[in-house]
Amino acid sequence: MAPAAGKAQQWLQLYSENLANSYRASALIQHRVTKGETRERQILDLLEALLPKRTAVEPDVVIADSRDAESPKFDAALLDRLFWPRLFEQNDTAVVMIESVLAAIEIKSFLNAAEIQDVFRKTTLLRGMACAGKGAGPCPPLVCAFAYTCDNLALAFFDFACAYALAPASSATLICVLNEGLLCLCRQDGDSLVPVDVPAAGLIPAAAVLGPDALLMFVYTLSGWASLGGGSLDVYRAYGRHVFATATVVYFEDDYLSAVAGSATVRERARQAYLRPGSASLTELYKASRRSIGLP
């Protein structure tokens, strides 16, 4: 029997419900730009309220490097405001040094292949920018995304894993799907997988199906980035211990990931198995996908 949720877990679950309700309420707005901005504000306001204040969650920042290149527009950035100056600010628009950015954040109403590609395209451009020196966090900065909905998490995981396998160093670190789970990068540690922040070759794309606790794990991860290596995460885990003690991830085996990364034809054939999941579990879909490309 699952242990009763602690207060921190319950609060984050209630935040998740609120976000889901706000998302449904904003669906009534017909103006697409206004609707998108409303949804961005809902999650960004929550992150601003919950993350350590040493950093700021800011929308509409332009990330620039010392060679005068600018990043594509992200919905928000997690910035170190304590020690890093800005390059420019006027009204609500700021230009910031890439070294001061801990993470770029994308907000998606709906997660699908096109949106995952969009996140990875922007990540590639951001991670291709120059770092003039040691940054507040990893430089080039990390990229994460938050999605309100996803009607096929198995397919999204497949697309995320393929995107990572094709360009490991240009991968987003984390995608949170509200009330569903997290898509993340991990490394093997004995029988466990340990989440990894900085994308690199040799990692394992993984999916954590967390249901209403996805937001807690997302806030936890961003808190780690925002606390710049402080010890608060060890304490945070104690408050959400029921989630952290039981969380598991699923992942694809190496032979499968190599096969789908190595050929667009194989990748498309493997992808077909996830398109109409019905009531099949992720494991069943994965088995069917393996069979479809001739793997046992």
* Binding region for other proteins (CB under 8 A): 3, 186, 189-195, 206, 208, 231, 233-234, 237, 241-242, 244-245, 247-253, 282-283, 286-287
Q: Which is nearer to other proteins, 1 or 28 (CB)?
A: 1
- 3-class DSSP assignment, residue 187: strand
End-to-end CA distance of the chain: 34
Check: CB of residue 127 under 8 Å from CB of residue 197.
Answer: no
- AA identity, residue 173: T
- AA identity, residue 58: E
Residue 146 CB, nearest distance to other proteins (Å)? Answer: 19
- AA identity, residue 136: A
Cα distance between residue 283 and residue 231, in whole Å:
36
Residue 200 CB, nearest distance to other proteins (Å)? Answer: 16
Check: CB of residue 48 under 8 Å from CB of residue 56.
Answer: yes
Q: Which is nearer to other proteins, 45 or 253 (CB)?
A: 253
Residue 80 CB, nearest distance to other proteins (Å)? Answer: 23
> Angle 201-204-206 (CA atoms, 0-180°, nearest 5)?
140
Q: Which is nearer to other proteins, 117 or 283 (CB)?
A: 283
Residue 248 CB, nearest distance to other proteins (Å)? Answer: 5
Cα distance between residue 108 and residue 91, in whole Å:
25
Q: Which is nearer to other proteins, 129 or 208 (CB)?
A: 208
Check: CB of residue 29 under 8 Å from CB of residue 38.
Answer: yes
Q: Which is nearer to other proteins, 120 or 252 (CB)?
A: 252
Residue 194 CB, nearest distance to other proteins (Å)? Answer: 5
